[in-house]
Structure 1
């Protein structure tokens, strides 16, 4: 039996059920809020961010996992003779991938993979790795397979507001004001060849109608969508809207597994509340 540890950055946004079922280890990002350091989704959750921002208009700053942290994280497994497969947030968005590679060079048996994605786009790649481990593939075989399929994983988000992007310096005040006044819901597309983000479609109207249009457009515009797994990730959306989104997915295809998860603090601090995204795989 292969001795393989499966690991990922906390930004993969997998829910507790999947993490526990497949024994997935998560390396947390550091969140700095009001001069205090927190571990992502351990010491701080998205609702804490919203509460503080609502009262004080203060947003957290996120910090990539550094080389020393990765070294300390991997070493106990390596010392016990395990091989480690670690999947990171897209390298175009963070230094975590490079830091993980540097740590891996100092240890034997650590395999770092750039997901070229974020949130559950990364999470879907982690789930694929978990299934390969169950099938008995070696670590090197798994790494090779993951690199061959990562550009088939598609991730996007629809935002309810540009306020958090503006507060974080990623969007102009004029654009934020215009979107809010016109009730425009922009879509953020993830480039699965690098992990970089760009503006996609923009939907006008309330959040429910916009989410339905967004999901239908995404799933109808992609050829050969695999029906095995699809992820629905959100940053704190009403349960009725989540049910609506899930039903819309089912209208678009007979998906075997629809996984619902909450976005990490790292993702939430940039997107803000009522953000919803989907991640799926194509042939």
Structure 2
């Protein structure tokens, strides 16, 4: 059984890197001042963060159904019998559930994995899926294995500024102002599928120590 592994750029795997390691990566859309760009395709991380820090209106979006299905169709035309697709966690985006619905049209040839991960832990799932595919495992077997281990991961995040959490509605303007005055740094966590507050400390050095702890 020849099985392809596909993910999106939320895993940190760009289309360019994906080509080198044999993984298909769908670039996620980023909207800056109304113009649409695609991660790792026509915008770099430096340009993305530069737009944010310069005060431009920056939002993200899920991939269009057409883009997802076009990549699946292209992979199957290359001779693969099955596709394992690992998008970002269903708890953080509607793109996973949308992909599951789209996959119903492929008679089992496309298996969408909801392993409730994002970023570095999602990347590990993708690399594990590639290893399993190389061992000859089917898409169904890979999906089952990844979803069984979905919650065996944790991420801790500290942010130096509350500005973007305020813009995203995760903290109030008053809370962000107080936090800035008192040098409060929130430590956030992703345990499985959701982003939650873990604790608050004074200063980035204490935030780093808390994450290591």
TM-score (norm 1): 0.68
What per-residue deviation string (whole Å, max 9, x for no partner) do you get for residues 86-138 of structure 1?
10111122121122112211224101011212111211211221222233322
Aligned positions, number: 211
Alpha carbons of structure 1 residues 188 and 26: separation in structure 2 relative to 1, 3 Å = same
Q: Name the counterpart of 1:64.
A: 62
Secondary structure in 1 matching 2:150: helix
Higher relative contact order (CA 8 A, sep 6+): 1
Distance in 1, Cα, partners of 2:207 & 2:187: 10
Helix, strand or coil for the counterpart of 1:52? Answer: helix
Counterpart for residue 148 of structure 2:
148
User: In the alignment, which of 197, 200, 203 is matched to residue 201 of structure 2?
Assistant: 203
1:125 paired residue number: 125
SS at match of 2:196: strand
Output aligned runs, 1:73-152, within 5 Å. 73-79=71-77, 80-108=79-107, 109-152=109-152
SS at match of 1:169: coil
Mapped partners of 2:153, 2:21: distance in 1: 20
Aligned 8 A contact 1:31 1:63 in 2: yes
Contact map agreement 2:30 2:39 (CA 8 A) in 1: yes
Offset at residue 172 of structure 1 (A): 0.8
Whole-Å separation in 2 of the counterparts to 1:72 and 1:84: 13
1:268 is aligned to none
**Alignment correspondent of 2:211:** 215
SS in 2 for 1:152: coil
Whole-Å separation in 2 of the counterparts to 1:117 and 1:16: 19
8 Å CA contact 2:15, 2:26 repeated in 1: no
Change (3 A) 1:98 1:81: same
Q: Take 1:216 and 1:47, find their aligned partners in 2: how far apart are those partners? A: 26
Residue ranges of structure 2 left out of the alignment (5+ in a row): none
Contact 1:70–1:99 (CA under 8 A) maintained in structure 2: no
CA drift of 1:15 comes to 7.0
Partner of 1:253: none
Superposed CA offset, 1:221-265 (max 9, x none) = xxxxxxxxxxxxxxxxxxxxxxxxxxxxxxxxxxxxxxxxxxxxx
Q: Is the 8 A contact 1:4 1:85 kept in 2?
A: yes
The structure-2 alpha-carbon separation of the partners of 1:75 and 1:15, relative to structure 1 and needing over 3 Å to count, comes to: closer
C-alpha contact 1:4 1:139 (8 A) present in aligned 2: yes
Deviations 1:117-166 (A, max 9, x none): 21112112112212222333222211111111111122221111111111
Once the two structures are TM-superposed, the CA of residue 52 in structure 1 deviates from its matched residue by 2.9
- Pairwise CA distance, 1:58: 2.1
Q: CA offset at residue 20 of structure 1?
A: 5.0
SS of the residue corresponding to residue 115 of structure 1 reads coil
CA distance in 2, matches of 1:34, 1:110: 35
Q: Structure 1: how far apart are the matches of 2:76 and 2:134?
A: 20
CA shift, 1:190, in A, is 1.2
Residues in 2 aligned to 1:87 and 1:4: alpha-carbon distance in whole angstroms: 13
